[in-house]
Amino acid sequence: MSRNPSILFRQLFDRVSCTYTYLLGCNKTRRAILIDPVKEHVNRDLSLLKRLELNLQYVANTHVHADHVTGSGAIKTLLKPAVVESIISSASEAKADIHVKDGDIIECGDSIKLHVLSTPGHTSGCVSYYCPEGAFVFTGDCLLVGGCGRTDFQQGNSAQLYTSVHQSLFTLPEDTSVFPAHDYNGNLMSTIGEEKRYNPRLSKSQEEFIQIMKDLKLDLPKLIDIAVPQNMICGF
């Protein structure tokens, strides 16, 4: 999945919340970063790291999730006293070891450099992590394959999400691979070019997009009252 041989890439899935967790490893230094781990799959993720002889340096979240508890806290507890630092945006106001903002670069080993893009709208603290060397971007719940995250709770704002996608994500090279935080239809990934042209919501005008989001009328996630408070403190 990575077009850069010095970056090891794994996409992992949680069937219950349909969440993707991503593992990136530096093939040279064996340092690794996990993006959006799920609490129930911490043992799977740690076994994989062990099997691939990777040392976990960071656990990063794209935002404060409402549908599952992050694995960050459990991983930090299990790997103690090894140094694993949790990362989330400062705008999320959630607890973590490192707080990032737009323009920051997370470096892991020699080959992984993740550029932090502020992409609010699903929540006010959503960020995407862009890796130019691998030509991929982790879009969290901002941009999904043929969709986007909901905007009706957690400070969601449809106009803001539209602006994040059009002014930030859609300015990336068109062949950049898009890896979302969720997919409910069996898709693994997309590209910026495909989403620009074919995303049924975000290829529309901002006014049409806002109306589409208003008309969704979704039920609240089952775990929202448990997941949000726990994720505000890194899943502890």
Stretch that binds Fe ion, among 12-20, 57-65, 86-94, 225-233 (CB under 5 A): 57-65
Closest distance of CB 3 from Fe ion, Å: 27
Residue of 155, 153, 157, 159 lying closest to 207 (CA atoms): 159
Other CB atoms closer than 10 Å to residue 200's CB: what's the count?
A: 10
The Cα-based distances of 27 to 11, 31, 109, 185 in angstroms read 16, 8, 9, 32
Segment interacting with Fe ion (CB under 5 A) among 38-46, 77-85, 139-147, 191-199: 139-147
According to the binding rule CB under 5 A, does residue 183 interact with Fe ion?
Answer: no
CB burial string 81-101: b at 16+ within 10 A, e below:
eeebbbbbbebbebbbeebbe
Show the site string, 62-91: x = touches Fe ion by CB under 5 A, - = not: ---x--------------------------
Per-residue binding letters, 85-124, with Fe ion (x by CB under 5 A) = ----------------------------------------
> Which residue minimizes CB distance to Fe ion?
141
**Least distance from Fe ion to the Cβ atom of residue 13, Å:** 16
The bridge status of strand 98-100 relative to strand 136-140 is unpaired
SS3 31: strand
Residue placing its CB nearer to Fe ion in the complex, 51 or 217:
217
CB of 63 to Fe ion, least distance (A): 6
Pair 128, 181: CB distance under 8 Å: no
CA 108/CA 186 separation, integer angstroms: 30
141 binds Fe ion (CB under 5 A): yes
Q: Per rule CB under 5 A, is residue 45 in the interface with Fe ion? A: no
Residues that bind Fe ion (CB under 5 A): 65, 141
